[in-house]
Structures are given as structure tokens and as C-alpha cells.
Structure 1
């Protein structure tokens, strides 16, 4: 039977397929239901993979009707991306930590580039779902956050004369290198990945930062 809206109770919950009626929710219970749905989707994703996360499966795991899920998420993709956002918050923490380790903006650019690559390879499924699949509001949110962290560092590099050119254009080029390095691996079996992931991340970060520094004046928007 296809997934889709149907009849629901006043609190957004409904009889299960066995006809067992749930209690009426108190005011504010909607937020708790949303968290339950996200927890169930995350468990399905981690245990059985992307294909296991369907609106119906998540609803059954929580004990609600499929229309109850649609009250909180417009579609399956939005649900999946929202689950992934919790992990992407970790990238911001890594970026902030790496930026705090040095006062040299060029060294900071390298460290943040390493942090980006290592994050993507530590969370390949969630990275792929948000960064390489169909775009949603979550995709834009993640892209904006990642771009902002790197752009701030590129701006400081330009300010001290290590990099030359338009800050936004330079950041886009560096982001393309980092995203490409992650995507190249996560689309392959892990058995094909380099044996030393730390060295791989360091090498790519070096190529991205040193390559940007090697661009002559007049390139990339200036």
C-alpha cells in the first residue's frame, strides 16, 4: 500500500493498524513526537541503511500513523536530511576547534580543510545524503555553514597577503576541492579507500590551500 496522508487524531497520533488507540497528547507533545520520529529514523538509517527509512517504517517504529509523520516532515527526503543535520553540527565544532589551534590564517585554512575532509569520511552516509543528493533546505543550511567557516579563514589569508583574488571565488574553488575529495571516496566501497585516511586528508588540504596560494594576481575575480 503506498504511503500517504489519511485520518489522524486531534494530537496528530492515530490508531495503529491493530486499532489500538493512543492517549490524547498534552499541549507541547508535538515536539516530543517529532524527536521520537527523528530518533526512529536515525536508528533505521544506522541499522539498515537509507532504503530502510520510509515514512511508513518510521511511523510503525514510533507507533503512529503515517499522516502523523507528514505533520512534521513534508516528505521522506526532508526527514532523512533532518536526521543528518544532527551529525553535521559536529563539523562546526571541528571547524571551531581547528581554528583555535593557530593564529596563522594560512595554517588555519589547512587545518579546517583537513577537518572538513575527515568529517565527511567519518560520516560517509550522512554526508552523501545531504551534500550529494537532491537539495533541500537542510542542504542549503549545511552548505552555507561550511562555506562561512572557510570563507572567514580565506578572508584573513587575503588580508595578510597569503592569498590573492576575490574571497568568495577563492572559497568556492577550495570548497570544490574538499567536496570532490570526499565524494570521490564515499561513492566507492571502503575497501578502495586509501589505507591512511589522515594522510589523504592532509595531502588534499595541502593541495587545496597551496594551489590557492599559487594562483597569480588577476585570477579568480581580481
Structure 2
């Protein structure tokens, strides 16, 4: 919706609707190729057809909007991963499902996950995405417990794997002409999680 179309007022009891629209507008701005700097109160307000000061009822500033965007993205990522995890009981398949889902989501929404740099400065009880990372650590540990991995430190090996996934998510779009080998994700997972 743009400002020219106007925006209908929320009905009584629908105050959260504007908050959702603010977060959605900021997400769209990031997804369209704008960096964090393109998410301004004016840009968000213009997109949903409100006056910028109306945002202050829901968010103190732009960084709080970005924090909400990143939190929602990681919540969606966690839901997608848990859906994939439910499809198998085999530890190695579950680990690969996490990595495949994470990479797919990161390639689709890297700018949004990357907005976490600003969001990380916000005071929150737990770092954003820590619960998703915990799923990765547990999956590496489950592989080690099942004798499918030589990992002696699930946290360290999951960290290496997480770094590798982020690198791949950033390099693939940045280097589309590079002759990416088939199965590069599988190689990455096998080596960094020390799967046998």
C-alpha cells in the first residue's frame, strides 16, 4: 500500500495491526535491495500511508523496527527448520535439513538476516537467532552421539558450520559467474560437522 491509496483506521482492538504493517513495510524495503540505511521512519510511513510520528506509538526509533524485522525473520526460520526436522529421525538427515533450510532462507533473505548487525546492539535477553543456532549445535551433537560424526565439540563444529553457511550465502549471490561445484553444501556440511 502506498500513501496515495490512503490507509483505513484500525478498528477498536486492532492496534497491533499498525505494528505489523510497520514491520512488513521495513521488511519489504530491505528485501527490495535497500540496506539498513534505507529503512527510515519516513520511508516506512510513506509505504503504509501514515504520518511518521504515528510510528512512535509502536517503536521508539528505526533500530527498534529493524530489531522487530530480524526477530520475526529468525522466528520464521526456526519454524521452517522445525518443520523439516519433523520429517526424519536420522541425526545426519536432520543436520542436513537444518543446513539446507538455513542456506535457502539466507539466500532468500540475506539482507534481512544481515540487518541483525544493528539489531544486535539493542538490549535483548538472548542474542537474536540463538535458538536457531542451538538447533544446529544439537544436531551436530546428535550426529556425534550416534557415531556419525567425529566431532568432539559440537559447539565449535556448529560454529564453524554456521560461519561456512553464512559465507556460502553471501558468496553465491555476489559471485554468480563462479563455477560453483555441484554438492558444495554437502561437502561443507560433511567436512565442518566431521560426518563420516
Q: TM-score interval w.r.t. the shorter chain?
A: 0.7 to 0.9
Tell me if structure 1 keeps the 8 A contact 2:81–2:102: yes
- Equivalent positions of 1:141-160 (< 5 A) are 141-142=128-129, 144-160=130-146
From the CA coordinates, give the structure whose radius of gyration is larger: 1
2:33, 2:144 → 1: CA distance?
46
The alpha-carbon deviation at position 129 of structure 1 amounts to 1.9
Alignment of 1:173-212 (within 5 A): 173-185=160-172, 188=174, 191-192=176-177, 199-210=183-194
Deviation at 1:172, TM superposition (A): 2.4
**Paired residues for 1:6-85 under 5 Å:** 27-47=12-32, 49-50=34-35, 51-85=37-71
Point out where structure 1 has 5 or more consecutive residues left out of the alignment.
1-15, 17-21, 215-222
Alpha-carbon distance between aligned partners in 2 of 1:193 and 1:73, rounded to the nearest angstrom: 42
Tell me how far apart the structure 1 counterparts of residues 125 and 105 of structure 2 sit (CA, whole Å).
17
Gaps of at least 5 residues in structure 2 are: none
1:111 matched to 2:97? The reply is yes
Measured at CA, do residues 45 and 57 of structure 1 come closer, stay the same or move farther in structure 2, by a change above 3 Å?
same
TM-score (norm. length: structure 1): 0.65
Distance in 1 (alpha carbons) for counterparts of 2:184 and 2:104: 9
